[in-house]
């Protein structure tokens, strides 16, 4: 364990017993990457980790892919990273620099220069060729970065605090957090043919989370060999079904970015995009999607102020798009989310939200074919609430029992006969959410 | 004052000093209408007013108009009233029966029969011809009405508790409330040529308020003479710019209905729809729109848990539709609403919401032409936050001072050169909102 790790561990946020369930005690990490995190002086408390760095040390250029927010007011780092991805066509992006505590968003000309300088200094210190680094920022919007602190923090972090131990990864995950109550880190090993590959990823979330692109900040890396085109396709597929299928508060940030980097350090035949029908491609896509869902679900687990983790399954819709739109509308309804917080089986609010979804206006919802039920996660019997548009005589005691659980699955069957489905993950809307967001900047 | 009025006054909700500002102490009411409200046994406390009735007593058939929710799960009373409006073509609807405490929504076949029976009994007791009554319900979704209580309450209300005094109107306004903290009643007199006309209206709101049709329950009546077609056109125009331009929580109810009735009791030349270019028509439309805005604003004033009343003006947009969509997106952002609650000048969240509005994706928002400012309602100097995409050096003390006020105007200038604008009204998202909605049914 390096000195850096020891030092920074003291400054890591306190993680409650409840949240610590979601933080791995150990992990197997992909070959050829080092990471780390330090306090550089962005966050005002003078100690919490706020600068994270990842470097590909395999010695060969990595493939990179990214999805960015579609918000019109794109933060400076989003604009800069997006330009670099385009310029490099996903080839030869070997590091990621991230600060938390300030989003460098809506910061004018100075903001663009600051983001560019973060790339410049990182490339220089790591002896990369120019424009080999993605930059990300997260935190408050509208203030310029304390850029001197960051630029002097980068060499310190790069030279003394990088490594590949579990502690380094935890530090890195901590350093990108803002209102998160625990660092979000997932690792996974899988096999394609004879080759064993590893995925490691981290993200931050909590508030300003709503789909329609990468919905927060995160990246994951693998030692599998993948072409940039294949990696971009697989990332998009995975993000649609993970980070774009979660919500905390319906707000889409100016900074949302999810990055994937593959350095091929574990060897094997390169997975190409024109092999998209191949078994190796399909297997990797399956593994990355599953992995991205696990990572994205951690964001909902840590939704600002959340006490519940709710899965919304919409079944038998006319299309995947319809199913997802309806699931998303329910997942974003303030009334539904407060009812879940109150452990109130007020399923009328679910119906109400289905009824005003955009899709519903286009005749994809037929009230007298719609059914809704609670599915307890403990495997006990389902509780039917509505069957083909007619309300069931609900056993309120049983409903209340089911709602005591932290986890809940809500199944909405549209009965169209077309059989399409989608899943969305959300949390409840609580007093604590209001406390956190009513007092974010202080 | 009738016995009924005296009796029911005791059972009216307690109105706080803060809310009592919004409740008129007296009013001038249109000729030829009587109203009233009683407790019939829908609300479980056994005393709060929960049944309201309005009757046209002018002796000639009134003109009626209505706009209904676009929610796919239309409540039974919405379906029934909508059918009656169509059947009667707006002619000869002379009464309105409303219950609060139960929305009669998603209540299956029984729910439809209950709504029809409410119309039947009201028509019978008031000696109307068949289908002369609009029916409305508001409250919890998914439970059948205690219909016997309502059906035996209607004759009691109609025969002993109707009148035209201010107290009768206040009772009527109270009887349609659910989580409202004060009754919402507005009256207004105006002149068209030599004729003096009066408008009186009431509504209920508080939660499940979001535009895209009539967004809550309400009705207003006038003694002006208006044809049904003209009244429907004028109502739609007014509702677009009032009840469809407010939000509390972004949820659109299954029951939203706004009704207008004109009995012509004050005399004068009938205002026809083919006279829509005439001065009399224009004058009436102007007066009704202004009146509807006053009424709709009361709903925001009483937004569930609200501590702030926020006006969002979007200026210089490409179209009215664009301006309204952007104003609506900001008005519905949970992060913006919690920041306002926290009196936090976190204007980045305003930008963020502008940036993810649907319109914004279609290139109607040009970041470096967008400007945002706070406009204090006391007439003191504006506070510029963003000018042509560049953040201003904001005087945080001044910002915080402005945010102490209950009322705030936010002006968003899109700088497109096309000059279109729209106004939206919203409130903040507070701890109390979560408390109210986390525990609504108990």
Which residues of A fall within a CB distance of 8 Å from B435?
A: 431
- Are B365 and A72 within 8 A, CB to CB? yes
Q: State residue B14's pLDDT score.
A: 67
pLDDT above 60: residue B63: yes
Per-residue model confidence (pLDDT) at position A265 = 96
pLDDT above 70 (res B285): yes
A434 and B439 within 8 Å at the Cβ level: the answer is no
Across A96-100, B68-72, B104-108, the highest mean pLDDT is recorded for A96-100
Mean pLDDT score, A294-311 = 89
Mark yes or no for CB contact B72/A356 under 8 Å.
yes
More confident residue, A305 or A119: A119
Mean pLDDT on B161-180: 95
| Active site amino acids of B | 215
ipTM of this predicted complex?
A: 0.73
Tell whether A417 is within 8 A of chain B (Cβ). no
B316's tokens:
């210089």
Residue A356 forms contact with B (CB below 8 Å): yes
Contact: B334, A249; criterion CB under 8 Å: yes
Separation between Cα atoms, residue B203 and residue B184, nearest integer Å: 6
Q: Is residue A169 very low, low, confident or very high in pLDDT (cuts 50, 70, 90)?
A: very high
Q: Is A246's pLDDT higher than 80?
A: yes
Residue A1, pLDDT > 60, answer: no
Question: At A370, phi and psi to the nearest 5?
Answer: -90, 130
Q: Determine the Cα–Cα distance for residues A252 and A71; give it in Å rounded to an integer.
A: 7
User: Interior CA angle at A160 toward A156 and A163, to 5°?
Assistant: 125
Q: What average pLDDT does range A159-187 have in this prediction?
A: 94
Q: Which residues of B touch A355 (CB under 8 A)?
A: 71-74, 252, 254
Other CB atoms within 10 A of residue B251 CB:
24
Which pLDDT value is given to residue B249? Answer: 66
Confidence of residue B118 (pLDDT cuts 50, 70, 90): very high
Q: Does A334 touch chain B (CB under 8 A)?
A: yes
> Distance, in angstroms, between A391 CA and closest chain B CA?
6
- Position B253 scores a pLDDT of 64
User: B390, A354: Cβ pair inside 8 Å?
Assistant: no
How much is the pLDDT for A362? 65
| Residue A206 confidence class, pLDDT cut points 50, 70, 90 | low
Residue of B nearest to A390 (CA): B108
Q: Which residues of A are annotated as a binding site for substrate?
A: 178, 204, 215, 304, 437, 442
- Ranked by mean pLDDT, which of A2-16, A263-277, A419-433, B339-353 comes out on top? A419-433
A360 pLDDT higher than 70: no
Section B365-387 average pLDDT: 91
Q: Assess A342–B contact: CB distance below 8 Å, yes or no.
A: yes
In chain B, which residue's Cα lies nearest the Cα of A304?
B335
Distances in whole angstroms, Cα of residue B421 to Cα of each of B238, B248, B424: 16, 21, 10
Cβ of A338 and B437 within 8 Å? Answer: yes
pLDDT digit string, tens, across residues A27-60: 999 999 999 999 999 999 999 999 999 999 999 9
- Pick among A248, A251, A307, A414 to test the B interface (most B CBs inside 10 A): A251
- Closest CA of chain B from A401, distance in Å: 16
pLDDT at B388 > cutoff 70? yes
Q: Which of A336-350, B35-49, B369-383 has the lowest mean pLDDT?
A: A336-350
- What is the residue-averaged pLDDT of chain A? 88
For the CA atoms of B138, B143, B145, B146, the dihedral, rounded to the nearest 10 degrees, stands at: -130
Does B393 reach chain A within 8 Å, measured CB to CB?
A: no
pLDDT at A416: 93
Predicted confidence at residue A433, as pLDDT, reads 82
- Window from B34-38, B66-70, B348-352, B357-361 with minimum mean pLDDT: B357-361
How confident is the model over B256-270, as a mean pLDDT? Answer: 94
**B153 contacts: CB under 8 Å, gap ≥ 6:** B38, B40, B41, B51
Residue B7 confidence (pLDDT) = 36
Residue A252 confidence class, pLDDT cut points 50, 70, 90: low
Q: Count interface pairs A-B at CB distance under 8 A.
A: 206
3-class DSSP state for residue A313?
strand
pLDDT at A212 over 60: no
What number of H helices and E strands is found in chain B? 14, 15
Region B115-131: mean pLDDT is 97
Cβ–Cβ under 8 Å, residues B132 and B94: yes
Residue A205 CB coordination number (10 Å):
30
Contacts of B318 in chain A (CB under 8 A): none
Q: Output B1 or A145, whichever has higher pLDDT.
A: A145
Question: Given an 8 Å threshold on Cβ–Cβ distance, is A142 in contact with B351?
Answer: yes
- pLDDT tens track for B184-226: 999 999 999 999 999 999 999 755 544 333 247 899 999 999 9
Chain A contact present for B265, CB below 8 A: no
Whether B71 and A212 lie within 8 Å, measured CB to CB: no
pLDDT over 90 (residue A96) = yes
**Residue B70: its pLDDT value, please?**
80
Q: How confident is the model at residue A8 (pLDDT cuts 50, 70, 90)?
A: very low
**Interface contact B70, partner A, CB < 8 A:** yes
Q: Which residues of A are catalytic?
A: 215
CA distance B355 to chain A (A): 4
Whether A362 and chain B come into contact, CB under 8 Å, resolves to no
More confident residue, B107 or B268: B268
Distance, CA of B99 to chain centre: 16
Task: Give B 159-188 residues with CB within 8 A of chain A.
Answer: none
Nearest-CB residue to B251 (from A72, A210, A333): A333
| Residue in B109, B338, B365 closest to A438 by CB | B338
Chain A interface mutation, best of B69, B70, B72, B254, highest count of A Cβ atoms under 10 Å: B72
Q: Given an 8 Å threshold on Cβ–Cβ distance, is B356 in contact with A252?
A: yes
Q: Would you place residue A297 in the very low, low, confident or very high pLDDT band (cuts 50, 70, 90)?
A: very high
Query: For the residues A389-395, what does the mean pLDDT come to?
Result: 85
Binding-site positions of B for substrate: 178, 204, 215, 304, 437, 442
d(CA A20, CA B192): 71
Specify the pLDDT at position B309.
94
Mean pLDDT, to the nearest integer, of A256-273?
93
Does any CB of chain A come closer than 8 Å to the CB of residue B368?
no
Please give the average per-residue pLDDT across B416-442, as a whole number: 83
How much is the pLDDT for A2?
34
Q: What is the pLDDT of residues A184-200, one digit of tens each?
A: 999 999 999 999 999 99
């Amino acid at each position: 364990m390096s000195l850096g790790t020891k030092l920074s561990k003291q400054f890591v946020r306190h993680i409650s017993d409840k949240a610590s369930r979601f933080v791995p005690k150990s992990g197997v990490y992909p070959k050829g990457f080092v990471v780390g995190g330090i306090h550089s002086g962005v966050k005002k408390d003078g100690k919490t980790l706020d600068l994270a760095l990842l470097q590909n040390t395999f010695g060969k250029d990595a493939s990179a892919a990214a999805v960015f927010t579609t918000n019109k007011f794109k933060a400076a780092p989003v604009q800069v990273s997006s330009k670099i991805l385009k310029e490099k066509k996903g080839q030869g992006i070997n590091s990621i620099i991230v600060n938390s505590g300030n989003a460098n968003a809506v910061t004018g000309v100075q903001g663009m220069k600051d983001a560019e300088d973060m790339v410049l200094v990182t490339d220089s210190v790591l002896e990369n060729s120019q424009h080999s680094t993605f930059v990300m920022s997260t935190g408050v919007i509208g203030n310029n970065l304390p850029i001197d602190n960051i630029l002097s923090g980068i060499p310190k972090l790069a030279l003394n605090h990088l490594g590949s131990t579990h502690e380094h990864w935890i530090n890195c995950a901590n350093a990108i957090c803002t209102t998160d109550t625990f660092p979000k880190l997932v690792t996974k090993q899988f096999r394609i043919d004879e080759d064993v590959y590893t995925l490691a990823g981290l993200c931050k979330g909590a508030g300003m989370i709503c789909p329609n692109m990468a919905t927060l900040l995160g990246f994951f890396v693998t030692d599998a060999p993948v072409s940039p085109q294949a990696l971009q396709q697989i990332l998009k597929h995975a993000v649609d079904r993970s980070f774009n299928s979660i919500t905390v508060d319906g707000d889409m940030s100016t900074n949302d970015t999810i990055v994937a980097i593959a350095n091929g350090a574990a060897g094997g035949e390169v997975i190409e995009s024109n092999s998209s029908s191949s078994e190796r491609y399909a297997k990797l896509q399956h593994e990355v999607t599953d992995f991205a869902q696990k990572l994205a679900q951690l964001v909902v687990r840590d939704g600002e102020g959340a006490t519940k983790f709710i899965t919304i399954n919409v079944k038998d819709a006319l299309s995947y798009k319809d199913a997802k739109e309806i699931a998303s509308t329910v997942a974003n309804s303030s009334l539904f989310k407060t009812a879940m917080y109150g452990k109130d089986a007020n399923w009328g609010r679910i119906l109400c939200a289905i009824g005003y979804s955009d899709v519903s206006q286009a005749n994809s919802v037929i009230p007298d074919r719609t059914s809704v039920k609670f599915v307890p996660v403990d495997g006990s019997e389902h509780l039917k609430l509505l069957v083909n548009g007619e309300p069931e005589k609900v056993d309120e005691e049983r409903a209340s029992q089911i709602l005591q659980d932290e986890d809940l699955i809500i199944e909405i069957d549209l009965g169209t006969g077309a059989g399409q489905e989608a899943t969305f993950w959300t949390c409840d809307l609580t007093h604590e959410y209001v406390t956190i967001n009513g007092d974010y900047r202080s």
